[in-house]
Amino acid sequence: MNKNSLTYEKSGVNIKEADKFVKFISLISKKTKQNNKFHNIGGFGSVTNIPKTIKSPQIVACTDGVGTKIEIANILKKYDTIGIDLVAMCVNDLIVQGAKPLIFLDYISINKVNLKKLKLLIKGVVKGCKISDCELAGGETAEMPNTYSKDKFDIAGFSVGLVDKNKTLHKDKIKKNDLILGVPSSGMHSNGFSLVIHILRKKKINIIKNKFLKKELLKPTKIYVKEVLNLMKNNLINGCANITGGGLEDNIKRAIPKNLCANIYLNNIKTSSIFNWIKVQGVNDKEMIKTFNCGVGFCLIINPKYLNKVKKFFSKEYQPYIIGKVISGKKKIKIDGEIAWRK
């Protein structure tokens, strides 16, 4: 070939490296294989049968990303946990409808294929799929040298789950006097990082040299699949909410039906160390509550008589506790009290 010939590789796209990555994914994804036996990574699509155990199956689909948490991963050059975050952001939404995650697909767009970095990303995705008991069925890796600057990338995920039509969590199951329980988060999860990065830049904080931030900022998002599906199986919940962007206020009201209101007691909220750190940097309470989960990663809405039974399905670290109650009202949410931030 003439050395002056125009090629795809000269434009910045290396198909050979991408093919090596596909082979790696095909090999590592076998660790997530279930009885469903999806086929096949590297092909045009993945095919399986719908489990016969579900009498009237309904499909639930969710998609999400991890936002600017990627920038923290780039600064620390640590890429083995944000794949867990990616899966968590999707499957934690699925279970709000009562669906069991079935498959997961990822999309990675990157300046230049870096096998070492991409393998770490996918190892995190595989770990997240194993925790969620779902299968990595495929994905897409796009090398985009003219779109992303050096070392930059983005990831997105897509998850599909199934739920029996008669067991779907609908708003009409929620009743007046139901309790609202907060389930602790593992940290920031994958929301609010743009504000944190703004703080780091404004105050010239080097997280590489800060042991506390280095540990806290890349803690993977807690996956609540196992616990919530067990509660579903035992008919112990009427509704739930995944606390992501928009915080407690924006997410809980999405689960509340007309003429009912979620009365949240902020003084009951148990914050964790990373949120207390953010608070003392100069972020006011209103901004904290609408930006971060503030220590509550997931909410359960239950009949009060099931409180003790519900707690038995969670480990000591993630014990749910009362943060509110469902009352009558035209507004979907009513916030009372203040969070007691720890110094």
Task: Sort strands 135-143 and 100-110 into parallel, antiparallel or unpaired.
Answer: parallel
Number of domains composing the chain: 2
Same domain, 19 and 102: yes
Same domain, 132 and 259: no
Same domain, 228 and 313: yes
- Residue 305, domain member (yes or no): yes
Same domain, 22 and 82: yes
Same domain, 158 and 226: no
- Residue 154, domain member (yes or no): yes
Same domain, 141 and 176: no
Last residue of a domain, one of 135, 167, 199: 167
Same domain, 127 and 251: no
Rounded to whole angstroms, what are the CA distances from 225 to 37, 151, 319, 325, 328?
21, 33, 15, 23, 30
Same domain, 22 and 115: yes
Last residue of a domain, one of 120, 139, 167: 167
Rounded to two decimals, the pTM is 0.90
pLDDT of residue 51: 80
Per-residue pLDDT of the chain (343 residues; tens, 9 = 90+): 556 665 556 556 566 665 666 666 666 666 555 554 555 555 677 777 788 888 899 999 999 999 999 999 999 999 999 999 999 999 999 999 999 999 999 999 988 888 889 899 999 999 999 999 999 988 888 888 888 888 889 999 999 999 999 899 989 999 999 999 999 999 999 999 999 999 999 999 999 999 999 999 999 999 999 999 999 999 999 999 999 989 999 999 999 999 999 999 999 999 999 999 999 999 999 999 999 999 999 999 999 999 999 999 999 999 999 999 999 998 999 999 999 987 6
d(Cα 38, Cα 50) in Å, to the nearest integer? 11
Task: Sort strands 57-65 and 153-164 into parallel, antiparallel or unpaired.
Answer: antiparallel
pLDDT of residue 94: 96
Q: HSE of 338 in the Cβ direction (CA atoms, 13 Å)?
A: 7
Contact (Cβ atoms closer than 8 angstroms) between residue 187 and residue 216:
yes
Same domain, 254 and 157: no
Same domain, 234 and 296: yes
pLDDT of residue 73: 96
CATH of the domain at 283: 3.90.650.10
CATH of the domain at 137: 3.30.1330.10
d(Cα 107, Cα 158) in Å, to the nearest integer? 8
Same domain, 73 and 128: yes
Contact (Cβ atoms closer than 8 angstroms) between residue 86 and residue 72:
no
Contact (Cβ atoms closer than 8 angstroms) between residue 21 and residue 118:
yes
d(Cα 326, Cα 334) in Å, to the nearest integer? 10
Same domain, 152 and 275: no
Locate 160 and state its tokens: 């599909």
pLDDT of residue 159: 95
pLDDT of residue 205: 96
> In which domain, by residue range, is 38 found?
12-42+55-167
